[in-house]
Amino acid sequence: MSVIHELDRSGRAQFLIATHSPMLICYPGATIYQFDESGVSETGYEDTEHFSLTKSFLDNPALYLRHLMDD
4-37 residue pLDDT tens:
999 999 998 989 999 888 888 889 989 999 998 9
Report the mean per-residue pLDDT for the chain.
Answer: 89
The residue range of the domain holding 18 is: 2-69
pLDDT exceeds 90 at position 69? no
Q: What are phi and psi of 2, to 5 degrees?
A: -65, -35
- Which residues make Cβ contacts (< 8 Å) with residue 9, sequence separation at least 6? none
**Angstrom distance (rounded) from CA 21 to CA 51:** 8
Number of domains in the chain: 1
pLDDT exceeds 90 at position 55? yes
Q: Tell me what pLDDT residue 20 has.
A: 83
Q: Tell me what pLDDT residue 21 has.
A: 86
